[in-house]
Amino acid sequence: MTETKKPLTILLAAPRGFCAGVDRAIQIVERAIERYGRPVYVRHEIVHNRHVVETLEKRGAVFVDELDEVPDGRPVVFSAHGVPKTVPAEAGRRNLSYVDATCPLVSKVHREVERHHAAGRTVVLIGHAGHPEVVGTMGQLPEGAVLLVEDVAQAEALAAPDPDNLAYATQTTLSVDDTMGIVAVLRRRFPSIEGPKLEDICYATTNRQAAVKAIAPRCDAIVVIGAPNSSNSMRLVEVAAGYGCARTRLVQRAADMDWEWLEGVDRLGITAGASAPESLVAELLAACRERYEVTVEEIRTTEETVVFKLPRALVA
Ligand code: SF4
């Protein structure tokens, strides 16, 4: 006798998963392997996703932490998160061919902080200490020129050398709501602070958070597919919890699912961080179908049409 499966409604957030910057970075590595042959070195995880990294490794990419691990004569790709200025300078000094896969929206923030610095302003960067994007953005200016603020408490305590001559910029993958709170404190304390009209948080981060906000109040539980070191994925977990679905967790892929955790859940929300491929969502849906009688409803809050061009050196 076949056991009847319990029903499970899955609300699939859209947009979810890969953004244009991640898509471009992966294509850059693939094309660099085609053009230069194996191995192509990649400084840092090209994007924060183990599955993506392992797939590229099989095709001939070698991931390293620092440039001194790249042998002379081999090409190197810089990750989507961006790099401090010292990195391309060192690659140039060693005559290494390099391709910069920094997301154009991160490069835009780099130019912003340079512009403020050139105008004599002290730059306050809102972001998470140690995240590669923050390291890269701070590394656009001389050491000590950027003040990092991670939260409201640090914004309240910030001691600026020249309080009337400040500007702020933000990491691209922060929580929209938390960042608004930090910016509000900075604007109250330093009324003349300059900054972008909207925060530098990118379209993909904003859209994925909006989509998860839309499903959160309707879900008994939410799974965010992503990596623990992926900033935008972790923010999706927090946003889901903050918008009515306390039972939310990050899962790297279907094999890591704790099915007991789903006990009593009738409506499950699923989304994926900007560095998680859609194949991992499909894999989780298939694993759910093995255990439940699944009905899928996709909740789309916006259409995305952003595509970034590849660097000229890699286009035919
Ligand atoms: Fe670019 Fe945003 Fe994607 Fe980061 S999350 S790679 S900033 S589009």
150 is catalytic: no
Report which of 123, 166, 167 is spatially closest to residue 148, judged by C-alpha positions: 123
236 lines ligand 1 (CB under 6 A): no
CB 209 within 8 A of CB 236: yes
Domains identified in the chain and CATH numbers: 6-18+203-300 (3.40.1010.20), 20-103 (3.40.50.11270), 104-201 (3.40.1010.20)
- The DSSP secondary-structure symbol of 47 reads S
- Tens of pLDDT, residue by residue over 94-133, are 999 999 999 999 999 999 999 999 999 999 999 999 999 9
Atom nearest to 274 CA in ligand 1: 5
Are 140 and 162 a contacting pair, CB within 8 Å? Answer: no
Cβ(232) to ligand 1 under 6 A? Answer: yes
286 pLDDT more than 70: yes
Which structure tokens are listed for 277?
């491929």
Element (H, E) at 134: helix 132-138
Q: Is the CB of 204 under 6 A from ligand 1?
A: yes
From the CA of 80, give the closest atom in ligand 1: 6
From residue 289, alpha-carbon distances to 248, 256, 281 in Å are 20, 16, 12
> One of 30, 90, 112, 133 is an active-site residue; which one?
133
Ligand 1 atom closest to the Cα of residue 306 is 8
User: What CA–CA distance (Å, rounded) separates 47 from 23?
Assistant: 9
Q: Is 176 helix (H, G, I), strand (E, B) or coil?
A: helix
- Ligand 1 in reach of 137 Cβ (< 6 A): no
User: pLDDT tens digit string along 175-233?
Assistant: 999 999 999 999 999 999 999 987 899 999 999 999 999 999 999 999 999 999 999 99
Give this prediction's pTM: 0.95
